[in-house]
């Protein structure tokens, strides 16, 4: 890591489920049961989980690098950093 950055490790503590093709929200059990298939989240799913699509004033803040090598750019909402 270079001097201009910071790193954090996180663990998922809860989730809100996933939207099915029929538009219904399907809850996801935590922890994942034995012999259940799992996959890495796609970039769009990571951004949704972080609330980035709902941000009014997003400012690029860094990148999340997942253990599969996928990199997802992330933002902060400037209104949380600099209140009006």
Domain ranges of the chain: 18-81
Mean local confidence (pLDDT), 70-77: 91
Higher pLDDT: 18 or 4? It is: 18
Higher pLDDT: 16 or 60? It is: 60
21-47 per-position pLDDT tens digit: 777 777 666 677 788 888 888 999 889
Closest by CA position to 64, among listed 23, 5, 24: 5
pLDDT of residue 71: 93
- The residues near 23 (Cβ < 8 Å, ≥ 6 apart) are none
pLDDT of residue 1: 46
């Amino acid at each position: 890591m270079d001097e201009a950055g910071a790193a954090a490790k996180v663990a998922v503590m809860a989730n809100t489920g996933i939207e099915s093709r029929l538009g219904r929200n399907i809850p996801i059990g935590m922890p994942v049961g034995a012999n259940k298939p799992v996959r890495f989240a796609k970039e769009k799913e990571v951004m949704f989980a972080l609330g980035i699509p709902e941000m009014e004033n997003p400012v690029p803040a860094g990148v999340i690098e997942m253990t599969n090598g996928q990199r997802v750019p992330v933002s902060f909402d400037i209104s949380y950093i600099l209140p009006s």
